[in-house]
Amino acid sequence: MTLNVGYIGLGAMGAPMLKRLTGGAPAGSVFGFDASPDVCAKVCAQAGAQPCNGISDIASVTDVLFTCVPNNDVVRAVYLDEGGVAASVRPGTVTVDCSTIGPEISREVHERLKEGGVSHLDASMLGSVSQANEGTISFVIGGEAEAIAKARPALEKVGGLIRHCGPSGAGNQMKLLHQTLVAGHVVAVAEALTLCEELGADVDAFYEIVTQGTGFAYSRYFENRVPRMRSGEFSPLFMLKFMAKDARLARDMAPFAADETKAKLPLLDAVIATLEEGEAGGLGDEDLSAATKVLQARFGRS
- At 144-164, the pLDDT tens digits run 999 999 999 999 999 999 999
| In contact, 186 and 243? CB cutoff 8 Å | yes
Active site residues: 175
pLDDT, position 52: 97
pLDDT, position 241: 97
pTM (two decimals) = 0.93
Beta bridge partners of 123: 141
Among residues 167, 188, 205, the one where a domain terminates is: 167
Do 158 and 177 belong together in one domain? no
Q: For the chain, how many structural domains are there in total? A: 2
Question: How does 284-301 read in b/e, with b if 16+ C-beta sit within 10 Å?
Answer: bebbbbbbbbbbbeeeee
Q: Residue 154: which of 169, 135, 173 has the closest Cα? A: 135
| In contact, 112 and 98? CB cutoff 8 Å | no
pLDDT, position 259: 85
Do 123 and 222 belong together in one domain? no
Q: Which domain holds residue 79?
A: 5-167
Do 147 and 187 belong together in one domain? no
pLDDT, position 1: 67
Do 97 and 208 belong together in one domain? no
Q: Which residues contact 82 (CB under 8 A, 6 or more apart)?
A: none
Instruction: Kindly report the CATH number assigned to the domain that includes residue 115.
Output: 3.40.50.720
Do 143 and 236 belong together in one domain? no
Do 9 and 154 belong together in one domain? yes
Q: Which residues contact 44 (CB under 8 A, 6 or more apart)?
A: 10, 18, 32, 50, 51
pLDDT, position 98: 98
Among residues 167, 187, 206, the one where a domain terminates is: 167
pLDDT, position 261: 87
Tens-place pLDDT, residues 247-263: 999 999 999 888 888 89
Do 206 and 137 belong together in one domain? no
Q: Residue 12: which of 132, 126, 114, 119 has the closest Cα? A: 132
Do 162 and 17 belong together in one domain? yes
Do 153 and 55 belong together in one domain? yes
Do 233 and 200 belong together in one domain? yes
| In contact, 55 and 84? CB cutoff 8 Å | yes
Give the 3-state secondary structure of residue 64: strand
Do 163 and 18 belong together in one domain? yes
Do 100 and 152 belong together in one domain? yes
| In contact, 145 and 168? CB cutoff 8 Å | no
Among residues 167, 193, 226, the one where a domain terminates is: 167
Q: Residue 217: which of 238, 188, 195, 240 has the closest Cα? A: 188
Query: Beta-carbon neighbour count of residue 221 at 10 Å?
Result: 16
Question: How many Å is the maximal CA-CA distance in the chain?
Answer: 64
pLDDT, position 258: 80
Kindly give the parts of the chain with pLDDT less than 70. Answer: 1
Instruction: Kindly report the CATH number assigned to the domain that includes residue 225.
Output: 1.10.1040.10
